[in-house]
Amino acid sequence: MLYKSTRGDNHQALSAEAIKRGIAPDGGLFIPTDRILFSADDIYALAGMDYRARAARILAPYLSDFTTAEVSECVGFAYSDKNFDHPAVAPLVELERGLAVLELWHGPTCAFKDMALQILPHLLVKSMAKTGEDAGILILVATSGDTGKAALEGFKDVPRTAITVFYPAQGVSEVQRMQMVTQAGNNVGVVAVQGNFDDSQSGVKDIFADQAMSDVIAERGFKFSSANSINWGRLAPQIVYYFSAYADLLANGRIKPGQAVNFVVPTGNFGNILAGFYARQMGLPVHRLICAANENNVLTDFIRTGVYDRVRDFKTTISPSMDILISSNLERLLFELTGHDAFRIREWMSQLKLQGRYAVDTGTREKVQQLFWSDFASDDETGHSIRETHRRYGYVVDTHTAVGLHVYDKYRGATGDDTPTVVLSTASPFKFNASVTKALLGANEILGKTEFELLQTLSAFSGMPIPRGLRDLQNQPVLHETVVEREQMPQSVIAFVNKLTGA
């Protein structure tokens, strides 16, 4: 399989190069040049496989420059019992006939980013070897919470890689902070930056753009890379669980071969739902992809009107992993829906950059609307959805999943569509336990309690065990205490590399 850029550069890359580079040389995103098609028989065969076998089967054609053994090895490392606390890896839970939840949070950090970040490091190491790269890879990540920990867990102790995560000293929850500062591994660094997430993020961008920094780490045998969600190596593994959910519905006799289903996806950067689009392109019978947003509802407006307008107030919500105003992966969808028209993509992306908005043509808007439907949930509606889901089904969901369930209710009300539907559950309720406990038990119940005490409260209430990755967190040794000003971020990287290499 060859990959090309959404911005029109003629260069075509094998998957190893696309994964190693992350972003195309012309600033566009890599997309596969060919369409892979699974027949009804191919899909039916997945029903008899476990998650690892399904993943190997679906990833193999996208990684045609990898051997079958290499793909299986990456999949085996990533989706092992050691990393995932459920034998199904991504289990499907039926709430009622016709409505199921796909739990994507059984990995080490209790959120769906593990599904991709557990495998990306292995794909990256093999990609480096294939492209003759002899430097080690140094990953830098700026995080507002979830991605940093998922990347640390993915890269820890992976040979020839190292990772430093920068987080805003005042901008993450206590659980998120403890998850990061207790991170074990001989190739990991964690640094708090004075300021907000933007300070960390712009600091990382400056380091990537600074040739002197690249030279310094090159002398120590390293090259910079990022692990962000536009890397094809993060997107492809997400296609797997759409097929896996469908295969489970087949295996359980809930649908017949060829029968269409809907997927509801709590959306921020448009990475997760875009994988659903690719699954459909590959022949998975998908009727509608329902894009669930919070009050940062830039995507809802886009899907309804064809106008993408980021010029609006940023809102801090109780579903913080969806507090995003620029959904980078949308560029890939537009490229596909315009029949690979790089000229239009460049125009829209440049308007987004210069004016903060763009409007797609009517034809493209109609194509979007044939496939996607969108609405959003306010924080009040999200809390209500957590309570309702518990009342109706005895099932506890996190805030992001609750957004999905609320939007699904709106979809049913608006369309009457009773196609069997899968709601993607993107985080364990324990990961956002303060908001979840407040919604279930009322504000008084959380008053004066630490986040760690609230884990116990939620566990007692729900009867669910506290996940491995969050249990005992407050008693783990703190291994990373560095706090820097934004200006000192480069020095902290150099100090980290010196420590790694004994320089």
Ligand X SMILES: *Cc1c(COP(=O)(O)O)cnc(C)c1O
Least distance CB 272 / ligand X (angstroms)? 4
Residue 462 CB neighbour total at 10 angstroms: 18
Instruction: Choose, by CB under 6 A, the member of 235, 322, 333, 337 that binds ligand X.
Output: 322
Using CA atoms, how far apart are residues 438 and 454, in angstroms rounded to an integer?
A: 10
In terms of Cα–Cα distance, which of 124, 93, 125 is closest to 106?
Answer: 93
User: Which of residues 399 and 462 has its CB atom nearest to ligand X in the complex?
Assistant: 399
User: Which of residues 213 and 434 has its CB atom nearest to ligand X in the complex?
Assistant: 434
Cβ pair 393, 96 in contact under 8 A: yes
Q: Which of 20, 113, 156, 438 is catalytic?
A: 113
Q: How many residues bind ligand X (CB under 6 A)?
A: 17
List C-alpha distances in Å: 7 to 26, 344, 358. Answer: 7, 9, 16
Instruction: Choose, by CB under 6 A, the member of 121, 271, 306, 383 that binds ligand X.
Output: 271
Least distance CB 229 / ligand X (angstroms)? 6
427 lines the binding site for ligand X (CB under 6 A) = yes
Least distance CB 398 / ligand X (angstroms)? 7
User: Which of residues 146 and 451 has its CB atom nearest to ligand X in the complex?
Assistant: 146
Coil/strand/helix, residue 425: strand
Binding mask 83-122 for ligand X (x = CB under 6 A): ----------------------------xxx---------
Instruction: Provide the 8-state DSSP code for 266.
Output: E
User: Which of residues 246 and 277 has its CB atom nearest to ligand X in the complex?
Assistant: 277
Least distance CB 430 / ligand X (angstroms)? 12
153 lines the binding site for ligand X (CB under 6 A) = no
Q: Which two tokens stand for residue 503?
A: 């320089």
Least distance CB 438 / ligand X (angstroms)? 17
Least distance CB 400 / ligand X (angstroms)? 4
Using CA atoms, how far apart are residues 15 and 429, in angstroms rounded to an integer?
A: 35
In terms of Cα–Cα distance, which of 194, 232, 176 is closest to 63?
Answer: 232
- As a dihedral over the C-alpha atoms of residue 274, residue 279, residue 283, residue 289, rounded to 10 degrees, the angle is -50
Query: Phi and psi dihedrals of 112, rounded to 5?
Result: -70, -15
Cβ pair 73, 393 in contact under 8 A: no
User: Does residue 113 carry a catalytic annotation?
Assistant: yes
276 lines the binding site for ligand X (CB under 6 A) = no
Instruction: Choose, by CB under 6 A, the member of 176, 228, 321, 389 that binds ligand X.
Output: 321
Coil/strand/helix, residue 373: strand
User: Which of residues 17 and 114 has its CB atom nearest to ligand X in the complex?
Assistant: 114
List the interface residues with ligand X, window 45-64 (CB under 6 A): none
5 lines the binding site for ligand X (CB under 6 A) = no
267 lines the binding site for ligand X (CB under 6 A) = yes
Binding mask 130-149 for ligand X (x = CB under 6 A): ----------------x---
User: Which of residues 269 and 433 has its CB atom nearest to ligand X in the complex?
Assistant: 269
300 lines the binding site for ligand X (CB under 6 A) = no
**Direct distance between the N- and C-terminal alpha carbons of the chain, in angstroms, rounded to an integer:** 41
269 lines the binding site for ligand X (CB under 6 A) = yes
404 lines the binding site for ligand X (CB under 6 A) = no
Cβ pair 425, 105 in contact under 8 A: yes
Instruction: Choose, by CB under 6 A, the member of 3, 167, 232, 270 that binds ligand X.
Output: 270
422: CB partners within 8 A, 6+ apart: 92, 100, 101, 102, 245, 249, 261, 262, 263, 264
Taken as a whole, the chain contains a residue count of 503
68: CB partners within 8 A, 6+ apart: 56, 60
Piece in contact with ligand X (CB under 6 A), picked from 15-23, 36-44, 183-191, 265-273: 265-273
Least distance CB 426 / ligand X (angstroms)? 3
212: CB partners within 8 A, 6+ apart: none
At position 301, the amino acid (one-letter code) is D
User: Which of residues 75 and 333 has its CB atom nearest to ligand X in the complex?
Assistant: 333
User: Which of residues 59 and 322 has its CB atom nearest to ligand X in the complex?
Assistant: 322
342: CB partners within 8 A, 6+ apart: 5, 6, 7, 8, 28, 335
Using CA atoms, how far apart are residues 490 and 503, in angstroms rounded to an integer?
A: 16
Piece in contact with ligand X (CB under 6 A), picked from 25-33, 61-69, 203-211, 268-276: 268-276
Q: Which residues of the chain form contacts with ligand X (CB under 6 A)?
A: 111-113, 146, 229, 266-272, 321-322, 400, 426-427
Please identify every residue annotated as catalytic.
113
